[in-house]
Amino acid sequence: KKKLKISGRDLLSVPIQVFGLDQLQVLEMSPERESCLRYRMDLLPQEIGHLRNLTCLYVDSNNLKKIPAEIGTLSHLERLTLSNNSLSSLPAEMGALQRLHSLHLANNSLTELPAPLCQLRSLTFLDVSDNKIDTIPSSIRHLEKLETLLLLFNSLESLPEDVCLLRNLHTLWLGNNHLRSLPAAFGELVNLDWGYNYCSCNYEGNPLESPPPEICSRGPEGIRDYFSSLRRI
């Protein structure tokens, strides 16, 4: 077997036989997205590290409170979904997942963007929406391949200038935070499309003052002109 789906409304744990399937590439232990179900598994066993050939691991919509350090041994992992759980932290060993390109962490209890995530140079998609994150570390600049960053419904009061170094960003959602200002170099994110494509850059639900929303709607040139005018004053 190379693909396995384990399902059940009362799913509490993973059958031990699963960890003997050393050729397994895709393991899914989450309900269908359309079902609105939530499984009850609160622990991902450390034996998950035995599945060294995994490329995709889906464990969203459970009740996970902790991810074992052994997750860092899954060197082939490319996609990991942990949304809709009860995670307040992530193990430092996740920084070893250098093939990971898609990471879903929405709707957990994270209070910070964990530093190990900023070591994942291959990451192109990161969703940390609907957590309690209040700061973004400057080390986010290392995610040079990142194309999608979703930060909606957090507690952000500011963004570091280093976000503006993510020149491959095509989608950046910042809605419903506490942002009063954007970095001065924000207009350098030229692959975003403020005001013209809602799916590209969303900042609604923030008390923005600098630049004001009407300036943002003019796109990157309007933002660059705004900050240039401030420097001349």
Q: Render 193-207 in DSSP notation, one character per residue.
A: -TTT-TTTEE-TTS-
Name 41's bridge partners.
none
Q: Residue 194: is its pLDDT beyond 70?
A: no
Instruction: Return d(Cα 28, Cα 228) in angstroms, integer.
Output: 50
Region 3-14: mean pLDDT is 85
Region 136-163: mean pLDDT is 94
Burial of 130 (0-12, 13-18, 19+ CB in 10 A): buried
Instruction: Return d(Cα 57, Cα 173) in angstroms, integer.
Output: 25
Give yes or no for a cis peptide into 211 (omega within 30° of 0).
Answer: yes
Instruction: Return d(Cα 159, Cα 32) in angstroms, integer.
Output: 34
pLDDT at residue number 93: 95
Report all structural domains of the chain as residue ranges with CATH numbers, in order of start.
110-232 (3.80.10.10)
Q: Residue 65: is its pLDDT beyond 90?
A: yes
Q: Residue 218: is its pLDDT beyond 90?
A: no
pLDDT at residue number 199: 65
Cβ neighbours of residue 231 closer than 8 Å, sequence gap 6 or more: none
pLDDT at residue number 214: 80
Considering the entire predicted model, what is its pTM? 0.91
Q: Of all residues in the chain, what percent carry a pLDDT higher than 90?
A: 64
Of 232 and 60, which is predicted with more confidence?
Answer: 60
- Element holding 216 (H helix, E strand): helix 213-216
Beta carbons of 192 and 201 less than 8 angstroms apart: yes
Q: Residue 198: is its pLDDT beyond 60?
A: no
Of 26 and 36, which is predicted with more confidence?
Answer: 26
Name 127's bridge partners.
104, 150
